[in-house]
């Protein structure tokens, strides 16, 4: 897939997304600013806001899939890039633009690996958001000016790619494995047969390319990215 960080040559020929948009950000003023920005640069039917990932996921259940999602990386109920991957598993066909003040090369690169279709630094001009939306509408990935391709990526890329391939059920089971729960306990928590849990665990280890539950936990912890993301956003 081609990458683009500048406006399309003829924006008038680009079909802008139709439908509604979802903004997930826990800062009320910035959330309002993003809503106003989206209304000014695109023709969405409505713009819905949520101040946490869980509330954003609830919006996805109650409505038709949105045409676009803007997501802040640093939310009260999110640890690293896990929130982005959960969001993509729920709204697989909806493009997600990360809007963050954290603009390190590695964070941008790994956000794209984890499923984001674009990355826009916070407090960017409205024209940047328009460029990002037009680029994504054309089927490309938007990366901000100053991003250096191939600089700042590491072995975490492979872990993120593998974790992104998990289904919702497999991701839930992996979370419970990370909590130290046994198959019998997981089966009880999810109201499924223990044999079903065992089948999922086997599939999870195959997708992650590991040989044990302990290795699977280590891969999941790596994707939490707690050693890379700053504490403030």
Residue pLDDT, tens place only, 171-209: 889 989 988 999 999 999 999 999 999 999 999 999 888
pLDDT at 224: 63
Q: How far is CA 168 from the centre of its chain?
A: 14
DSSP 8-state symbol, 13: G
Q: Supply the pTM of this predicted model.
A: 0.75
pLDDT tens, position by position, 138-164: 999 999 988 877 654 455 677 778 888
C-alpha distances out from residue 112 to 39, 129, 169, 204, Å = 25, 17, 23, 22
For residue 110 the two structure tokens come to: 């790994």
Average pLDDT on 8-26 reads 71
Average pLDDT on 85-112 reads 89
pLDDT tens, position by position, 30-58: 999 999 999 989 888 899 999 999 999 99
pLDDT band at 2 (very low <50, low <70, confident <90, very high): very low
Average pLDDT on 115-119 reads 94
For the chain, the C-alpha Rg in angstroms (whole number) is 18
């Amino acid at each position: 897939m081609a990458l683009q960080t500048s406006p399309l040559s003829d924006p008038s020929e680009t079909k802008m997304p139709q439908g509604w948009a979802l903004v997930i950000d826990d800062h009320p003023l910035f959330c309002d600013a993003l809503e106003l920005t989206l209304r000014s640069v695109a023709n969405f039917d409505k713009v819905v806001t949520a101040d946490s990932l869980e509330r954003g996921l609830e919006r996805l259940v109650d409505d038709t899939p949105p045409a676009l999602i803007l997501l802040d990386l640093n939310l009260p109920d999110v640890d690293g890039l896990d929130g982005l991957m959960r969001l993509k598993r729920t709204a697989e066909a909806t493009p997600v633009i990360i809007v963050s003040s954290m603009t390190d090369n590695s964070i941008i690169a790994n956000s794209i690996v984890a499923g984001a279709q674009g990355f826009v630094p916070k407090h960017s001009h409205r024209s940047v958001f328009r460029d990002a939306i037009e680029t994504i509408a054309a089927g490309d990935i938007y990366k901000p000016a100053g991003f250096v391709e191939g600089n700042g990526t590491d072995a975490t890329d492979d872990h993120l790619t593998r974790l992104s391939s998990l289904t919702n059920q497999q991701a839930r089971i992996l979370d419970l494995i990370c909590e130290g729960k046994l198959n019998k306990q997981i089966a009880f928590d999810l109201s499924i047969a223990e044999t079903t849990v065992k089948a999922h665990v086997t599939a999870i280890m195959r997708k992650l390319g590991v040989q044990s539950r302990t290795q699977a936990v280590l891969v999941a912890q790596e994707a939490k990215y707690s050693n890379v993301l700053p504490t403030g956003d």
